[in-house]
Amino acid sequence: MLDIKRIRNDFDQVVKQLEVRGVDKQELDDVLAYDQERRDKIAKAEKLKNQRNTVSKEIAELKRNKEDADDKVAEMKTVGEEISQIDNDIKELDDKIHYIMARIPNIAHESVPVGEDEDENVEVRRWGQAEDKGFTPKAHYEIGEDLGILDFERGAKVSGSRFLYYVGLGARLERAVFNFMLDQHQKEGYQEMLTPYLVNDKTMYGTGQYPKFKEDVFKMDDEERDFTLIPTAEVPLTNYYADEIIPGENLPIYFTAFSPCFRSEAGSAGRDTRGLIRLHQFHKVEMVKFANPENSYDELEKMTANAENILQELNLPYRVITLCTGDMGFSAAKTYDVEVWIPAQDTYREISSCSNTEDFQARRAKIRYRNADGKPELVHTLNGSGLAVGRTVAAILENYQNEDGSVTIPEALVPYMGGVAEITKDNAKGI
């Protein structure tokens, strides 16, 4: 959430900065008007409360002197009712302000390119070269189904579309990938966590999923508890320090966690209906950082490099792009997307997003640290995929496929596969 003082004190600049993120100026006009009305009412309430305190002393003095205080008592009853009404008005204005503010996205960092959609994202660098195998590459889902290691048909039977079973060495490969990622991130200084997979509404609000994006998640049908299945481990990891003050000397703090992720994929009908790219349930290794505001952008560069390192170790070609203002996520101030090469689609596909949200999430979740002067200050939070596991498996199957339908295991993963260096129809069951 943005600081309302920023809107109040630098209104024209904020309007300009949010216009490129799709925010209607009228929303900011409304916030400013409600805020001014609220402050006026607070001032009036304070004046009436001071008046009540003064007259209350006069009433007490009259009563001590056994003098008539009825008129003043009646007057203060009216003043009390007026104060109560003003307090109610202030509460209503607070709600109106919060309703709008909770739906306004973060302001983009000055280095973020201005653009309307993904076509205006800016490529930063590429790594690796797509190999010409001398045959037409198959899609990962065809490879997986032919080998018997991905079963989408039974996944749909049991749960519906965009669910699957990993079978035999398919399941072993998925496990190998996320164990490898966790080990790499531990070497880079991330503390491994295992988080809750169900969180409450306050937690979803803290990272910016609620209230604007409720249609994108799976919410439990439970009248007694406000549980939601996590869309990413970013949610419980970032909220680990919600409503707390972190000792400044502890920063930066690095967390990593493997988790299932659950997404309704609202609005994605017809997109990536086959395969591992867009599922309702998938696995991801997440990276989260809590950083000092002065160096949070250095930490973003490091986090992006940590995601890239996984792909380099697996020898998977990729590119890094900077998302433009119209393509960034709601909470982000700056985002790098890492996109892996998918041969069957002859294109790069997102496999990681690394974002600095600055103090946007910290303000919502009330996460602070003590600065050098010992004063509480909002921390900067960062998050990134390190990586999306299913998409990594898809990239491995496509980039390491052989003409006979087998798949070579990347060298870095062979120890995690129990020494298996290739998946074939003969060993695919893994038993």
Residue 67 labelled as part of a binding site: no
3-state SS class at 336: strand
Say if residue 263 carries a ligand binding annotation.
Answer: yes
Annotated binding-site residue? 383: yes
Identify the active-site residue in 296, 331, 353, 406: 353
Catalytic, out of 162, 172, 263, 364: 263
Catalytic site residue 355?
no
Q: State the catalytic residue, choosing from 21, 274, 278, 370.
A: 278
To the question of whether residue 350 is assigned a binding role by annotation, the answer is yes
Cβ neighbors of 105 (< 8 A, separation 6 or more) are: 18, 21, 22, 23, 328, 330, 331
Helix (H) or strand (E) holding 111: none
> Does the annotation mark 391 as catalytic?
yes
Q: How far apart are CA 32 and CA 37, in angstroms?
A: 9
Establish how many alpha carbons lie within 13 A of residue 323's alpha carbon, considering only the half-sphere containing its beta carbon: 24
244 is in an annotated binding site: no
Q: Is 118 annotated as a binding residue?
A: no
* Residue 278 annotated among the catalytic residues of the structure: yes
Cα–Cα–Cα angle for 328, 333, 334, nearest 5°?
65
- Selecting among 142, 349, 391, 398, the annotated active-site residue is 391
The answer to whether 409 is annotated as binding is no
Question: CA dihedral in degrees (368, 243, 103, 336; nearest 10)?
Answer: 50
Residue of 350, 370, 377, 422 with catalytic role: 350
Is residue 159 annotated as involved in ligand binding? no
**Binding residue per annotation — 377?**
no
Active site residue 350: yes
Query: Does 81 count as an annotated binding residue?
Result: no
Instruction: Say whether 319 is catalytic.
Output: no
d(CA 230, CA 262): 6
Instruction: Report whether 368 belongs to an annotated binding site.
Output: no
Kindly report the CA angle at 124 between 120 and 126, in degrees rounded to 5? 120
Catalytic residues: 263, 278, 350, 353, 391
Which segments are annotated as binding site? 232-234, 263-265, 286, 350-353, 383, 385
Which segments are annotated as binding site for L-serine? 232-234, 263, 286, 383, 385
Which segments are annotated as binding site for ATP? 263-265, 350-353
